[in-house]
Chains A and B, each alone.
Chain A
């Protein structure tokens, strides 16, 4: 009975010492991965010409066609930036995952193997007890390895990630400004033309134009919200990673866990907001 007590004490110690509990990190990383895979605004940037084309004539249209080709050419590289940030975050999530470094399956099959040989004269209850300990030991050891691997990744990854996220923020800004010029081209057209449609004969035309301008105004207002949310999201991902780096040696602290969890929640909310906004 004494050994059982020792074993259970050991078990307890190992559980306490070994359980890294990286759930907060995992949540942060997987939410960041999902948000950085949000490419609607990049695609919208690529498709600018399709939307503005009906409102363009002459020289402006010629330039717009040229811009269209160049945006389409840049599209692939722009998408790569999304993919890489997302891939980085997915990898981080995997690293912080429960199953990434989990050996308990191996231990289980091992215990099964031993039980299958009754000739050993080993009581199966004993095997269970020992394999239980082995699982905890394995967990304890692998979680030390896991934390170290995670620490390395976050330390080395922070600088290139921050640079890339700054780049993403600059891109969103360029998309937003391009969209602003598109909006002013489209709505400006109605601004200019509607006042001249002032005869009785033009009444139908004027109403249709006003109704169309109204729906276009609403569309642009919604899209602008998306640029703002995307900017906020990029900032949250960047800040979250910075905090993760600052507290990389204190990941078990409740305070740190709560902080990282909050980043995960914020990023999730931003993604949900983006989905909610009608385009």
Chain B
């Protein structure tokens, strides 16, 4: 069968399911009106169930089409997750730069008691340094 996309496959399966529904309605009417015997009823119901299996088979095809169609998006998502993890890791590396800030902190702490201006300058330095870091 030359049905390639999921929508076409699904629509065909829907049609087949609807046929099975119609058969069932007609069958129940015949049973109610005592038009048919049990054996005939069973054999018609058997055909109905067979049609439903055919439809279900197409729903599997449709699901497989979906899976195939998603392979590219799935790959993008996986790539993106990896990038995100890298970013989280990168910031953890920045934790290493805290050593550098430590030096500044000592300076600041030492200067603290005496002069406010150097402290503000040092803070300004920290701000600039880490701003540069976070751009990476």
* A contact set with B: CB distance below 8 Å: 2-3, 6, 10, 45, 48, 55-60, 63-64, 66-67, 70-71, 74, 77-78, 80-81, 84-85, 87-88, 91-92, 94-95, 100-101, 103, 106-107, 110, 113-114, 120-123, 126-127, 129-131, 133-134, 137-138, 141-142, 144-146, 148-149, 152-153, 156-157, 159-161, 163-164, 167, 170-171, 173-175, 177-178, 180-182, 184-185, 188-189, 191-193, 195-196
Contact = CB atoms under 8 A, between A and B. Distances in A.
A159 B63 CA distance: 21
Q: For the complex, would chain B's binding face be called helix, strand, loop or mixed by DSSP majority?
A: helix
11 contacts: A6-B120, A60-B53, A91-B81, A101-B91, A141-B133, A148-B134, A170-B6, A170-B10, A173-B10, A174-B66, A181-B20
A78 B67 contact: yes
Contacts of A48: 56
Contact of A88 (B62, B67, B80): B80
Nearest 5 A-B pairs (CB), nearest first? A160-B76, A63-B53, A160-B73, A60-B49, A163-B73
Interface residues of B, number: 71
Contacts of B38: 196
Contact of A110 (B28, B67, B77, B98): B98
A195 B48 contact: no
Given A107-B98, A137-B130, A188 B45 contact: yes
Contacts of A182: 52, 56
Given A63-B50, A101-B91, A126-B112, A174 B10 contact: yes
B73 A110 contact: no
B2 to A, nearest CB: 19
A146 B120 CA distance: 25
A74 B28 contact: no
A130 B130 contact: no
Contact of A167 (B66, B113, B130): B66
B123 A103 contact: no
Given A59-B50, A110-B98, A153-B80, A71 B60 contact: yes
Contacts of A94: 84, 88
Interface string B110-136: 101100100110010011001101100
A216 to B, nearest CB: 15
A87 B80 CA distance: 11
A167 B72 CA distance: 12
A63 B54 contact: yes
A139 B113 CA distance: 25
